[in-house]
Amino acid sequence: MANKPSIPKGTRDFSPTEMLRRKYIFSTIEKVFQKYGFLPLETPAMENLETLTGKYGEEGDRLIFKILNSGDAWGGVSEEVKKGLATGEVAPGKFASAVSEKALRYDLTVPFARYVVQHQNEIAFPFKRYQIQPVWRADRPQKGRYREFYQCDADVIGSTSLLNEVELVQLFDDVFSALGLHVVVKINDRKVLSGIAEVSGQPEKVVDIVTAIDKLDKIGREKVEEEMRAKGVSDEAIKGIAPLFDLKGSWSEQRPLLEKWLSSSPMAQQGLKDLSFTFEAVGALKSAKLEYDPTLARGLDYYTGAIFEVKAAEGTMPGSICGGGRYDDLTGIFGLKNMSGVGISFGADRIYDVLLETNKFPTELGGSTKLLFANFGEAEAMHCLKLLRTVREAGIAAELYPDQVKMAKQFKYADDKGIAYVAIIGENELIQGIVTVKDMKTGEQKAVKQDELISAIA
RNA sequence: GUGGAUGUAGCUCAGUUGGUUAGAGCGCCGGAUUGUGAUUCCGGAGGUCGCCGGUUCAAGCCCGGUCCUCCACCCCA
């Protein structure tokens, strides 16, 4: 089986059953996005390489899929680079940019920022857009981690109002109510985290402190402190951060402690004020629980204000199923200053896994045939064709078995495809003007008049 | 990118210290039943043992390489 076809590492086929479920997730999210006033946007699968490089950090650059220039890519390489490659003076990474000027998109946020800058004069701000498209990463695949996967993003750009944060929390709640899943929405504010770094005496170490704290629930307090020490955070500063680990309870319980502890940092005070506003304004939620998580940090360093993460309250999925946050200067790298935005992203693949595990997918997902006409031969089939039309006009998904084969095979087809009813019109039924309808679930069979067919299977 | 495990039929897996013709269950196809699926009975097809090389009289089994999948790390959705 050496010639057995296959697909690239980390990519997947989606079977019809999987696609019906995926579309159910996507369309649920999309409907809610639209209900909140977000408009659809699509950008190309590939961007200019220079649009993407340098936006995701050093690690990120390595994970960008680059596209080889068409034509004679090698011919476009300068003699200098060719020589350098041979001697090892030119790194392979440098060579890549010599033969590649396009790359597959790595996320939806950077192409969105590019779009906003490029079309700034046509856009009405605040601009609310959603985008549901695949992205590609040259990462090593693992369970729940692929080289091609979908992101479902919604962002508001050009507004600093905290009402946006409030609405996004409500949007999370709406989506997971529609999907019937209980979740915990965790929230924090980067300003508070910066304040903690400030109070500890090493404000320049925010990023290192934050990424270490982010791992708290995974590796424990000791290892977090160890990592901070390894990154050059002083023992004194680590001591200064210590109160964070003892924080417990609800937001209203934690808030006074934080205010006291971080009283010397105006930035932290602002963050706490913002969080309070969000907690108050969000109001009652249906399926989600909003929780303050002082250790929620999120890796991406472009976040500047609120940060979100959603975890399933059911099932065994350990990681987050959604994320998001506010960024003050996403478009600055493309030359448009003072554009604050806040956005969220749904991890469709992980949501799929959770819904499957917890058995939350509706049993009947639109798209599957409800009624199959068995094929008894040319005359009967022609007759069925007419009935088929009226059934379909009534909005019922129906099909006629195209070949005249033995009944067992046709029934098996209906069974395999999960079709609820089979209409049998053989010689007898044709003469009498009736239809024998079989319920595939119960196995019951009854004869009805032709014009009663629709009500018989409704 | 680092470290580890795995790969045998469409799927899930057996396969003895290296020894003739590599097995099972499920699925698939045909028949029992020329107007009835899911249940029953009978029969059948399907494998270059991931790929390449090495050791050996002899390799699914031992050795090396390579690819895939999985796990941990890094990072992330």
Asked whether the beta carbons of A49 and A61 are under 8 A apart, the reply is: no
Nucleotide nearest to A137 (CA to C1'): B76
Quick: pLDDT tens for A187-199: 999 999 999 888 8
Within 7 Å: CB of A322 and strand B?
A: yes
CA dihedral sign, ordered A306, A310, A311, A312: positive
**Distance in angstroms, CA of A214 to C1' of B56?**
56
Burial label for A173, CB within 10 Å (0-12, 13-18, 19+), is buried
**Residue A156 phi, psi dihedral angles, 5° rounding:** -115, 125
Q: Which residue has the tokens 């209203």?
A: A252
Quick: pLDDT tens for A330-373: 899 899 998 999 999 998 888 988 888 888 888 777 667 899 99
Report helix angle A266-282 to A190-200, nearest 10. Answer: 150
> Does the pLDDT value for residue A1 go beyond 50?
no
Quick: pLDDT tens for A366-417: 667 899 999 999 999 999 999 999 999 999 999 999 988 999 999 999 988 8
Q: Which residue has the tokens 């404000």?
A: A203
Alpha helices in A143-189 (DSSP H): 163-179
> By three-state DSSP, how is residue A263 classified?
coil
Q: Which of residues 376-395 of A touch strand B (CB under 7 A)?
A: none
List the structure tokens of A239: 């001591």
**Residue A84 phi, psi dihedral angles, 5° rounding:** -60, -35
Query: Quick one: average pLDDT of A206-228?
Result: 81
Report helix angle A92-99 to A79-87, nearest 10. Answer: 150
**Distance in angstroms, CA of A59 to C1' of B5?**
26
**Distance in angstroms, CA of A3 to C1' of B7?**
17
Q: Which of residues 81-140 of A touch strand B (CB under 7 A)?
A: 107, 137, 139-140
Report the nearest residue to nucleotide B77, CA vs C1'. Answer: A347
Type of residue at A407: M
**Four-CA torsion A120, A323, A293, A156, nearest 10 degrees:** 20
**Distance in angstroms, CA of A141 to C1' of B63?**
29
Task: Write down the pLDDT at residue A224.
Answer: 84
Most confident of A130-134, A147-151, A196-200: A130-134
**Distance in angstroms, CA of A401 to C1' of B43?**
28
List the structure tokens of A149: 């996967």
Within 7 Å: CB of A407 and strand B?
A: yes
Type of residue at A379: A
Query: Quick one: average pLDDT of A136-164?
Result: 91
Query: Quick one: average pLDDT of A198-214?
Result: 83
More confident residue, A15 or A33: A33
Type of residue at A454: I
More confident residue, A1 or A181: A181
Quick: pLDDT tens for A77-90: 777 777 776 666 66
**Distance in angstroms, CA of A405 to C1' of B22?**
38
Asked whether the beta carbons of A287 and A183 are under 8 A apart, the reply is: yes
Q: Is the link from the previous residue into A126 a cis peptide, with omega within 30 of 0? A: yes
Nucleotide nearest to A439 (CA to C1'): B37
Of residues A150, A148, A105, the one with CA closest to residue A130: A150
Of residues A319, A37, A288, A279, the one with CA closest to residue A175: A288
Nucleotide nearest to A320 (CA to C1'): B77
**Distance in angstroms, CA of A12 to C1' of B55?**
40
Q: Could you give all domains of chain A from N- to C-terminal order, each with its CATH number? A: 16-45+106-357 (3.30.930.10), 371-457 (3.40.50.800)
**Distance in angstroms, CA of A86 to C1' of B24?**
56
**C-alpha span between A257 and A260 (Å, rounded):** 5
Task: Write down the pLDDT at residue A91.
Answer: 62
**Strand locations in A304-430 (E):** 306-312, 322-327, 341-346, 371-373, 398-400, 421-424
**Distance in angstroms, CA of A4 to C1' of B14?**
25
Task: Write down the pLDDT at residue A367.
Answer: 65
pLDDT band at A315, cuts 50/70/90? confident
State percent of chain A over pLDDT 90: 55
Quick: pLDDT tens for A87-112: 666 665 566 777 888 999 999 999 99
List the structure tokens of A58: 């050093």
**C-alpha span between A323 and A306 (Å, rounded):** 11
Cα end-to-end distance, chain A, whole Å: 48
Task: Write down the pLDDT at residue A92.
Answer: 58
Asked whether the beta carbons of A390 and A400 are under 8 A apart, the reply is: no
List the structure tokens of A299: 């890796």
> Does the pLDDT value for residue A248 go beyond 90?
no
Task: Write down the pLDDT at residue A230.
Answer: 82
Q: Which of A84-88, A171-175, A214-218 has the lowest mean pLDDT?
A: A84-88
| ipTM of this complex | 0.83
CA dihedral sign, ordered A156, A159, A162, A167: negative
SS (H, E, C) A11-51: CCCCCHHHHHHHHHHHHHHHHHHHHCCCEECCCCCEEEHHH
Quick: pLDDT tens for A263-305: 999 999 999 999 999 999 999 999 999 999 888 887 667 888 9
Within 7 Å: CB of A438 and strand B?
A: yes
Report the nearest residue to nucleotide B49, CA vs C1'. Answer: A1
Asked whether the beta carbons of A349 and A151 are under 8 A apart, the reply is: no
CB-contacted nucleotides of strand B (7 Å): 1-2, 10, 28-31, 33-38, 47-48, 50-52, 67-77
Task: Write down the pLDDT at residue A2.
Answer: 38
Within 7 Å: CB of A323 and strand B?
A: yes
**C-alpha span between A192 and A273 (Å, rounded):** 10
List the structure tokens of A278: 């969000």
Task: Write down the pLDDT at residue A3.
Answer: 52
Within 7 Å: CB of A149 and strand B?
A: yes
**Strand locations in A102-238 (E):** 102-104, 127-136, 148-157, 183-189
**Distance in angstroms, CA of A413 to C1' of B44?**
22
Nucleotide nearest to A416 (CA to C1'): B37
Of residues A275, A347, A364, A362, the one with CA closest to residue A312: A347
Task: Write down the pLDDT at residue A87.
Answer: 65
Of residues A105, A92, A180, A104, the one with CA closest to residue A361: A180
Q: pLDDT averaged over chain A? A: 88
**C-alpha span between A272 and A274 (Å, rounded):** 5
Type of residue at A449: K
**C-alpha span between A270 and A252 (Å, rounded):** 16
More confident residue, A455 or A94: A455
Within 7 Å: CB of A211 and strand B?
A: yes
**C-alpha span between A426 and A440 (Å, rounded):** 18
Of residues A22, A38, A21, the one with CA closest to residue A30: A38
Within 7 Å: CB of A412 and strand B?
A: yes
- Predicted TM-score of the model (pTM): 0.88
